[in-house]
Amino acid sequence: MLQAAYVEQLYPFGQTWMYNNTSITFATHVVSHAGGKPIETLIEENLLTPLGMESSSFNYDATPPAENYAWGHPPIYGEGNINDLKPYYIPLIRESAASGALRSTINDMLKYARFQLDGADAAGNQLLSKEALDYAHAPAVEAEAGDFTGLTWFVHDYDGVISPSHGGNWPGTRSFLQLIPDRDFAVVVLVHSDRGAEAYKKVANAMVKAFTGIEADSPVAAGVDPAVLGPFVGVFKGNSQNIEIRKEGDEYVFVQFSALTKGADPAPANVANTADGYFIITEGPNEGALGELLEDPSGELNYVRFNHRIFIRSDGAVDEFSLSGSVFE
């Protein structure tokens, strides 16, 4: 952790934002030091036990629990066969204690959702005030490509109705929690497949509409000259995931590769312009997702923000990764 003090920032502090788990990892070390206990113990004592989340736990074993465990499954795209859908398991790592290492159930996650709505534990004791919850759920920075970002939450504004949400990803599994505090509403979706992200937002949108009457607005292509996407052309690399925008004839195509899924990635998909400096994926698993072209600190258009993360224009192929020094090495 101390070595991070010597890592150069991508952007000058305060110039832009990017979602990352590293900041959460730093925060857990601070909390553990202040609390005098491992972060897992502090979470169990101050959240899991008071909220009655008896089926939630941290487990870093090399093998999954023998019983009552939903195995993950790799993605299948294109002409893949259902017989290829073999369960697989990748152990969680301690560094992810507060950013994805908690195993839980629908019932327990709904208990956590209730806590996020009223701040009370299972016995009715107030653990967080409404002011603290409102602060955590509020938009913290602008995000014109869709959701705002807040204090560890992504925040959508439905014409004045705030809705914080967050997804969870680990190889073979996807999860999603969405809140609408003003309507006392929450929805949790757990999927044991890498392609679960394609389902959970659609399920959540349907649930929001059915129980609150709120309907999500979906971005659409602008229908202008596709040449405006020219500045996006290139390979952009991130932490364990790379993307590329290619020009093929008169069309522009989005390509995505992940080091975690070892080439089991979506087929290239067409993209279109939706506003100046943005692209929208118009087909396939990422349909409706937006990307934003950003200036690097020198003023050149060399960064893309996609799925809340920043990718840097780079040399080499989109399926080439440098994982040196990462948890995936």
H helical segments located in 96-196 = 106-118, 130-137
Amino acid at 270: N
- Nearest-angstrom CA–CA distance, 216 and 28: 34
Beta-strand runs (E) in 97-202: 102-103, 148-149, 154-158, 161-170, 173-180, 185-191
Strand 303-306, strand 161-170: pairing: unpaired
Taken in order of first residue, the domains within the chain and their CATH numbers are: 2-89+97-212 (3.40.710.10), 226-314 (2.40.128.50)
Q: Which residue has the tokens 């596709």?
A: 226
Q: What is the pLDDT of residue 243?
A: 92
d(CA 146, CA 82): 34
Residue 269 in contact with residue 283, Cβ under 8 Å?
A: yes
Beta bridge partners of 188: 177
Per-residue pLDDT in tens (0 to 9) along the chain, 329 residues: 666 677 777 677 777 777 777 788 888 889 999 999 999 999 999 999 999 999 998 888 888 877 888 888 888 777 767 777 788 888 888 877 877 788 899 999 999 999 999 999 999 999 999 999 999 999 887 765 556 888 889 898 888 899 999 988 888 889 999 999 999 999 999 998 888 888 888 899 999 999 999 988 777 777 777 888 999 999 999 877 899 999 998 889 999 888 766 657 788 888 888 888 888 998 888 888 888 898 888 889 999 988 888 899 998 888 887 754 443 33
CA distance 7 to 28: 19
List helix spans (H) across 141-285: 197-212
- What does the alpha-carbon distance between residue 253 and residue 175 come to, in Å, rounded to a whole number? 28
The pLDDT assigned to 145 comes to: 54
8-state DSSP, 8 = P
Specify whether the CB–CB gap between 72 and 171 falls below 8 A: yes
The answer to whether 173 touches 160, Cβ cutoff 8 Å, is: no
DSSP letter assigned to residue 12? -
The residue type of 272 is A
Q: 273 vs 145, 225, 233, 259, 291, CA distance in Å? A: 12, 8, 13, 28, 10
Token pair of 312, please? 């840097």
